[in-house]
Structure formats: C-alpha cells, structure tokens
Amino acid sequence: MVIHQEAFNGIYNVVDKQNISFPVYCDFGSEPGVAWTLIQSHSLQNNVAFKSKAFYLHDVPINQDSPEWNNYRLSTSRMKSIQDVSTHWRATCNFATEGVDFRDYWRVSLKILDLLKEPASGGFCLWSEFVNIRGNECANCTVWTAYSSVHSLHIDSWYQGVVCDFEGRAGGVSNEDDFGFYATTNTAFRCTSSMSSTSQFWLGSF
C-alpha cells in the first residue's frame, strides 16, 4: 500500500498489490507514530445494515469510493490489502467530532484476532492491548468479545457469568453491546449516546 500525499488526516489514494488505486480515510494525528486507515463507520441510526455483518464472512462494501462517517464499509478485498500491511486494529466512537482521547476506545493486535478469519468461538475472552468503556479501562487484559456469523465484532461489557479481566459494569446496563451489534445500547457509551453517534473500525501499523 502506497500513500501519495503528505501525512495529514484525510482521504488518500492507496495502491494495493495488484496496482489498483482506491480512496481511504487515514488518521495520522491521534496516536503519534501510528497510521490508521478507516475500514468501517456507521451511525447508530444505520446499525441494521452492519449489526450482523462479520468482516470475515460478509463482503458488503458501502460507499467505499466515498469515505464517510454515517454509512461506510470497505470491500473484503480492500480490507485485506490494508490488513496485509497492518499490525493492529482499533475501534473508536464519534471520531469525526471527538477524535481520540482513549475514552470508549479498543485496540487489539492482529496476531491475537485477525479480522478476516473466523474465530474458534462466537464468544470469548479476547486479549486486548487497551480498552476503555464509559471510563472503565484496562491494559493488556482480556475482554468478553462476541464475533460470529450473526454478530458483528463487539464487546459485551456487562454479560452474566463471564470471567474476563475487564470489568465494565460501572455505569453499564445488562447485556450492553459496545463498538457494534447494538441489540442493547447505553447512552453513556459514546457510540450509542444518540442515533447520530458513530462507530468506527480501523486498521493500522505501529
């Protein structure tokens, strides 16, 4: 992947291994030394089109030639071309208006969870480099994660009977979904604070 402009946040043309160029939104400013590429963003209002679409199973590009915040997803082939030169993925909320202050934020190594491969189980404790939900946070810890053929990638921050390191019940609601799926939402979580709130997934390299 080759970037053809100066390193400021915005839309760039990148070139994949087949020498095909396509536009993406890149974030160079929120985490020093890291370049992040947006692969999906949607508002809570548009959640139905995304809630059951796992990256590894569903090839459903939406507005992929016009990156935007409310209704956007890259094709599987374009995601793969970016993931092939990435080391991590992250999830953010309301990036266009709030940027990254590490509240309501999640970062995981691709060595731990490859977005484009089916996990062994639909629900599991996922080793995460950092997670913050509503101010509850931990680093280098496990977080209860759901990801399956019918669940988009997300955290269940308050799920009965689960024993993972992360504890997200303070300020939470029972069966709350964070960063995706959103069958049960909480207005205290930025991605679901209103119907216009947005959720993002990114690929990046340290």
Interatomic CA distance for residues 90 and 36, integer angstroms? 9
* pLDDT above 90 (res 32): no
Confidence of residue 111 (pLDDT cuts 50, 70, 90): very high
Give the model confidence (pLDDT) of 48-69 as tens digits. Answer: 999 999 999 999 999 999 999 9
Determine, yes or no, domain membership for 2: no
Can you give the length of the chain in residues?
A: 206
Q: Which domain holds residue 59?
A: 10-205
Residue 46 is assigned to a structural domain of this protein: yes
Percent of the chain with pLDDT over 70: 96
- Full DSSP string of 75-123: -HHHHHHHHTT-SEEEEEESHHHH---SSSEEEEETTT--TTS--SSSE
- pLDDT band for position 206 (50/70/90)? confident
2 has pLDDT over 80: no
Q: What is the pLDDT of residue 160?
A: 67
Q: Does the residue 21 lie in any domain?
A: yes
Lowest-confidence range among 4-18, 60-74, 112-126?
4-18
The pLDDT of residue 1 is above 50: no
- Range 165-169, long-range pairs (CB < 8 A, 24+ positions): 165/125, 165/138, 165/141, 166/128, 166/131, 166/133, 166/136, 166/138, 166/141, 166/142, 167/136, 167/138, 168/133, 168/134, 168/136, 169/136
Inform me whether the pLDDT recorded for 4 exceeds 50: no
If one counts the domains in the chain, the total is 1
Q: Average model confidence (pLDDT) for the chain?
A: 94
**Distances in Å between the alpha carbon of 128 and those of 11, 25, 48, 110?**
28, 24, 27, 10
Half-sphere exposure of 49 (CA within 13 A, CB side): 16
Tell me if 1 is assigned to some domain.
Answer: no
Q: Alpha-carbon distance 179 to 104, whole Å?
A: 8
> Does position 83 have pLDDT exceeding 50, yes or no?
yes
Each residue's pLDDT tens digit, 139-181: 999 999 999 999 999 999 987 667 899 989 999 999 999 999 9
Mean pLDDT on 182-205: 98
pLDDT at 43: 98
Residue in the structure block whose two tokens are 């280098």:
140
In a domain, 4, yes or no: no
Question: Domain for residue 79, yes or no?
Answer: yes
